[in-house]
Structure 1
Amino acid sequence: MKRALVAVGAVVLFASSTLAQQNDGFFMRDAVGMKSYPAAPRLAERAAMVPAVVLPAAATSIPDAILAIQDWNASGRQPMRNGVRRRLPDVVDMHLSSAIAAKSAITAFGRGVVEATSHGTIVWSTMIRVENAHRIRLHLENVMLPDGAVLWVYGAGQTPIGFGRELMDGNGSLWTPSVSGGVVYLDVEVSSMNAATSFSIREILELIDVGVGSIHTEDSPTCLVDATCVSSSTFAQVSSARKAVASLFFVTSDGGAVCTGGLLNDVASSGTPYLLTANHCFHDQSSASSLEAVFDFQTSSCQGNFNRDTSPTVNGAQWLVSSSTSDFTLVKLNSIPSGRVLLGWDANTSVVSSGTTLHRVSHPVPGSDIFPQSYSSTLVDTSTGTCTGFSRTNFIYSSSVGGQGGVYGGSSGSPVMLSNGRVVGQLLGSCGPDPSAGCDVRNSTVDGAFSSSFSSLSPFLSGSGATPSVCTQNSTTMCLADGRFAVSATWRTTDGQSGNGQAVRLTSDTGYFTFFSATNVEAVVKVLNACGLNQKFWVFAGGLTDVNVVLTVRDTKNGTTKTYTNPLRTPFQPIQDTSAFATCP
């Protein structure tokens, strides 16, 4: 199956919940979570630094990787790929300390340059070049950033993009925002009084011009409809929908990928920037942390020009919940720009009866470009055949016969909406004789049903008390089970000494704590995802101590916390809790 085009939005200035399973949209005049940053130091640029690392052009150095992406997209596999992860021939290791405050002049340091400023900060900067690159992102690993640290990334002559620890995932790494062109600068500024900072850059993500190969026999890209050309007589809520939909760029283990997503309103109209997309796009914190959501990516006029770089973009999100059952993912964006619409929704199955018109706004990729907002509509068809593994209980089937527009890769995850603008699902893809043919009316369009997803979404959208947060890896907290669980420990001795355990993460599931010395391991912890076995997350721990230990494990997805206590003067008793957290998925 392949990604299809799907729709968005409703706008209602005052939201209300008329039924437990439906909600109206909400207009957000002001931005949420948008931060302002000081001017970037641009140290490496000012110092005319030569590149720390140079990578040759992908087309000549890794042609097989580019062909693999093109073949993947041409076959209609999902999600649509648009980038390749490339290892650097030389690692950029950066370690700052307060001792560098003595360096008042620009000095070569750690494959970059460093300078102590007159206002009590230390700045480090580097530059990497990738020949003939379209866009670049840097992968920072083993990241340790002090409070107040600010980073900027930018291309030659471009406006710097500021960010901080909010982009870190549970593994202690982050992907920088992308910059266009073949040169990327990175600046870091920290207080000279608290300068302990370190990370490594071992790889970059090179984003390429994507393509899906040749057009199929029954395929005509001219079926696509520019959403700017669509009036309210076609879709009453089209203007609201366009303020809710974003083109999504993110990183997976296979490289860069693209989808579409839409903002959702909660019952309380709290303004929380929930965003709905597809599970097959991504379903973990690592990809959510790497997310770039581009809003208002649209033509300047009907069939006019478009430029992604001029559209407001937000970076990073907290992954909340995903399921392959109805193919959905819900995240909370770190921020949203002003003038957004948070879409309403309806989880009642009766509203998607046969013949119901469904509307979609998404970002298809029919050729070499990711298209600006495009509109399509289909009609629910409850009599057509289904695809294996995608039952009508969990998915909505519709036909483009009698509708307009088409479906292509890149549209995956876009919200599908009723004429009143309420979301009833999100796009899975196409099912039929040639699902890769975006305009082939013989295909059915398949959307994950909101009614099926609602039991998992309602704790967030209906305000049932869930208190999600983000696990931040630091010296006293390790993030386990793909960054979902925050694990910390405290200790106390017989003579009254006490403190926080120092956390060291070994794998995605396992880590250990030291209490008195970095070379003396005191407790080992493991958190496992056993949802496929008994619908639980398991916690295992063992200790090499008899001091009082309080081990705290918190599920950041919903705030559920468990503590395990080892009494003073008692050898640490093994913990084998295979019913620890009944919080799947």
Structure 2
Amino acid sequence: MRYLTYSVTGLLWIAGVAVAQNTPATYILDSVVLPASAVQVAKSAPVPVAATVQTHFVVLPELEVEQSWASDDGAGPAHQIGVARAVAATSSVAQTQSVLRWTALPSGQQVAAINIQSTGAYSLRAGVLVDSLPDGAQLHIYSQEHAYAIIARSGAEINALLAKNREAGETGAAANTWWTPEVGAGDTTVEVRLPAGTPAEALRISIPKVSHIYQNLSLPIDSEMQGMNHTATTKAGNAASCNLDISCSSNYQTERNAVARMLYTIESGQSYLCTGTLLNSSKGDFVPYFLTARHCISSQSSASSLQTRWFYRSDSCNSGVPGANSARSSAGATLLFATATTDSSLLRLNETPPAGVTMAGWHAAAPLPTTTPVYGLHHPRGDLLKYSVGVVSDYADCRSNGNGTFSCQLGEANGGFYNVEVSEGTTESGSSGSALFHEGRVVGTLYGGSHSCWVSEGSTNYGRFDKFFAEGASRWLASPAASMTP
């Protein structure tokens, strides 16, 4: 049921209660499916000129990384999957310029490429530090293994993304580093094409480090990358055994399409996985607002590095194989609002998700009573979509201890968090930022907790969406209240 609100003589009335006129006009909103008409048509991928481009190869030695997933008991931290590696051969502008070998094309363009391989990596992201990049340049990102699978970005797009970092007050390398999309291989090629008449000296970039991704993301090659459909040849399966496969349930058919797996890289070069949820807006304009945890993304540079994976669920119950319609976006996002009060962040994606995703509704009118049934949809450890079920057991005030842990004081009626008693499934690192739902609407954002497959008596804490909405998210999600004559 959808509740309507209206204002009379300068007051806004919600369920019979008068509140200040400047509050939003909508507190409860239903979900909507994103129509194809709201999605920009993707540009066709260009064909690489592999026969003419001269590529300089940099091979980093094998890196031993301890993968301690089994120690990730309960939810709370983002799930780290990548570490930084220095690249001495391209650590400065001068060194990078010295290894680029330019070839003139019949069009008058110049093209050159650098390929970096990090032995033992499942995937790789290159940190391209930009000193000067012509707007008309084209950067093509691909692996040598899949040279036909290109992600293309213009210099103008990259410059605009980095400008957002600076506008947010970030400086130095954090503000000026573009993290290339990962393309599902342990190497990455950065191919640069300069417009006709542009001297090679106009390009001033370096690649001082890469993010070596040591978890197999089990990503099938998709249509964005190669213009054709392929199915995955490997199974996902990093989540603990008590997690519940969403494809085994007939419930949550609409809201599950609002959930995306997140991959992002921070300034240091470490890469992480979290979960986020696409939100609807009362303005009806299909702007892709995206909800996640503040402990996942709290800076614009991290938001700029964001990649999302949509419809990332098994093609049949417990198959472990991603469905053929799984889709990705790698254009980053704009950080709009983040708060420690509920450990929540609101982003606006820079690229509209694929048609058919759900823009989830939300409930911000009042806190949920205790014993209210709730459920979560999430990607534990980056695995295919799972669900968990429970009830609101208490309210809490939660605070970070500053060392990757946090503590919660229960019984705080005005606290910014719900304490949820989980009865089915669980959450883990990587589930962070995922939405808590009640009757198809978002009511919270996952912070963390002690419940796990091994600690069944533990609980999980979610930031309250009504608090997040009141503190500032309503500015983007709801139209302001307007005076009306009844």
Q: What is the CA-CA distance between 1:299 and the residue it aligns to?
A: 0.5
Q: Is the 8 A contact 2:395 2:418 kept in 1?
A: no
SS in 1 for 2:426: coil
- Cα distance in 1 between the residues matched to 2:325 and 2:91: 31
The answer for unaligned runs of 5 or more in structure 2 is 7-24, 167-174, 218-238, 399-406, 482-486
Aligned length: 409
| Residue identity opposite 1:334 in structure 2 | N
Residue 16 of structure 1: how far off its partner (Å):
8.3
Deviations 1:434-481 (A, max 9, x none): x2734532111110001111121011111459xxxxxxxxxxxxxxxx
Other-structure match for 2:177: 173
Q: For residues 388 and 354 of structure 1, do their structure 2 counterparts lie closer, same or farther at Cα, with a shift above 3 Å needed? A: closer
Output aligned runs, 1:513-552, within 5 Å.
none
Counterpart CA distance in 2 for 1:139 and 1:409 is 25
Q: Distance in 2 between matches of 1:116 and 1:84?
A: 36
The separation in 2 between residues aligned to 1:110 and 1:306, in whole angstroms, is: 44
In structure 2, the residue matched to 1:163 is: 153
RMSD of aligned C-alpha atoms? 3.2
- 3-state SS of 2:302 partner: helix
Residue in structure 2 matching 1:348, options 365, 368, 373: 365
Other-structure match for 1:36: 43
Residue equivalent to 2:429: 409
1:450 paired residue number:
465
1:304 CA drift (Å): 1.2
Q: What secondary structure is seen at the aligned counterpart in 1 of 2:86?
A: strand
**1:363–1:372 CA contact under 8 A, matched in 2:** yes
- Partner amino acid, structure 1, of 2:274: C
Deviates more, 1:200-209 or 1:331-340: 331-340
State the shift of 1:149 in Å.
2.6
Q: Kindly provide the amino acid, as one letter, of the partner of residue 135 in structure 1.
A: S
Residues 512-552 of structure 1 deviation map (CA, whole Å, 9 limit, x = unaligned)? xxxxxxxxxxxxxxxxxxxxxxxxxxxxxxxxxxxxxxxxx
User: How many angstroms apart in 2 are the aligned matches of 1:227 and 1:375?
Assistant: 6
Match of 1:294? Answer: 309
What amino acid is the match of 1:292?
Q
Judged with a 3 Å threshold, the aligned counterparts in structure 2 of structure 1 residues 34 and 425 are, in CA distance, closer, same or farther, namely farther
Change (3 A) 1:154 1:308: farther
Offset of 1:20 from its aligned partner?
Answer: 2.3
What SS does the aligned partner of 1:413 have? coil
Structure 1 residues 309 and 28: CA distance shift in structure 2, 3 A: closer
User: What is the deviation of 1:47?
Assistant: 5.0
Query: 3-state DSSP class of the match of 1:451?
Result: helix
The residue type paired with residue 39 of structure 1 is P
Choose the corresponding residue for 2:103, options 115, 139, 161.
115
Matching residue's letter, 1:129: Q
Q: Does 1:67 align with 2:100?
A: no
Match of 2:248 among 229, 234, 246: 229
Q: 1:463 to 1:40 in 2, by over 3 A?
A: farther
- Correspondences of 1:63-462 after superposition (within 5 Å): 66-67=65-66, 73=72, 78-91=77-90, 110-158=98-146, 159-164=149-154, 165=158, 166-168=160-162, 169-170=165-166, 171-194=175-198, 196-209=202-215, 221-232=240-251, 238-254=252-268, 255-307=270-322, 311-315=326-330, 316-335=332-351, 336-350=353-367, 352-365=368-381, 370-382=382-394, 387-388=407-408, 391-392=412-413, 393-401=415-423, 404-419=424-439, 421-430=440-449, 435=450, 437-438=452-453, 440-455=455-470, 456-462=472-478
Indicate conservation of the 8 Å contact 1:26/1:341, yes or no. Answer: yes
Distance 1:270 1:282, change over 3 A: same
| Aligned amino acid, residue 57 of structure 1 | E
Cα distance in 1, alignment partners of residues 464 and 397 from structure 2: 17
* C-alpha contact 1:264 1:344 (8 A) present in aligned 2: yes
What letter matches 1:353 in structure 2? Answer: P
Tell me which amino acid in the other structure corresponds to 1:230: S
Aligned partners of 1:69 and 1:81 also within 8 Å: no
Deviation by residue 1:353-400 (Cα, 9 ceiling, x = unmatched)? 1111112111012xxxx3100011111113899843675521011111
Q: CA deviation at 1:150?
A: 2.1
Question: 1:247 & 1:202 partners in 2: Cα distance?
Answer: 28
Deviation at 1:282?
A: 1.5
1:190, 1:112 → 2: CA distance? Answer: 12
> Could you give the per-residue CA deviations for residues 264-306 of structure 1, whole angstroms, max 9, x where no partner exists?
0111121101100000112010100000111111111111132
Deviation at 1:328, TM superposition (A): 0.3
Letter in 1 for 2:385: Q
1:74 deviates by: 6.0
Instruction: Give the SS at the match of 1:90.
Output: helix
| Equivalent pair of 1:92/1:111 in contact (CA under 8 Å) | no
Distance 1:173 1:32, change over 3 A: farther
Q: Is the 8 A contact 2:422 2:451 kept in 1?
A: no
Query: Counterpart of 1:544?
Result: none
What is the identity, as a one-letter code, of the residue corresponding to 1:340? V
Question: Which one has the largest radius of gyration?
Answer: 1
Structure 1 residue 129, shift from structure 2 partner: 1.3
Where 1:447 maps in the other structure, the secondary structure is: strand
* Residue identity opposite 1:406 in structure 2: T
Structure 2 distance, partners of 1:332, 1:362, is 20
Which ranges of structure 1 fall in alignment gaps of 5 or more residues? Answer: 1-9, 60-65, 96-107, 212-219, 233-237, 466-585
Q: Is the 8 A contact 1:113 1:126 kept in 2?
A: no
2: CA distance between counterparts of 1:188 and 1:35? Answer: 21
Partners in 1 of 2:321 and 2:67 — Cα distance? 28
